[in-house]
Amino acid sequence: MPKTHLSRRYRFSASHRLHSEQISEEENRATYGKCNNPHGHGHNYVLEVTVSGQVDENGMVCNLVDLDECVKRQVVVRFDLENLNTRPEFANAVPTTENLCMVVYDILKREFTQAHLESVRLEETMMNAFEYNGIE
């Protein structure tokens, strides 16, 4: 059966400090550079969610309203204007955008069941984007 992909974009802003308690201050500075600033820094993230499936009798892969509501409720509201270092999702992980990408994927994989979650892509800056599809 043919399958179609749908990608939607969302925006949220969050701050973080890249710092690991597992290594020394010097190693943190060497590893994370300016992103290890003790005061943290923020990003205006652009999240792209891609789902796939068969086109239904309504001509859609999934209901866009349901997808939007799920992403907004489960991701945007959770992380928008937050310091990622204080979120329970990062209690044992450095809140890099790579890790944030995997967290977002896992949340949506659990919460959105109308279509197959293909991937999530997070643009951190104009120069940096990260994508995760659940395959390790």
51-92 residue pLDDT tens: 999 999 999 999 999 999 999 999 999 999 999 999 999 999
Domain containing residue 13:
4-132
Q: Are 55 and 62 in contact (CB under 8 A)?
A: no
What does pTM read for this prediction? 0.94
pLDDT at residue 135 in the model: 82
Q: How many domains does the chain divide into?
A: 1
Mean pLDDT, the chain, rounded, equals: 96
Residues whose CB is less than 8 angstroms from the CB of residue 42 and which lie 6 or more positions away in sequence, other chains included: 13, 14, 15, 16
- Give all strands (DSSP E) within the chain, no chain letters: 4-16, 41-53, 82-83, 116-123, 129-132
Q: What pLDDT was estimated at residue 136?
A: 67
CATH number, domain of 96, equals 3.30.479.10
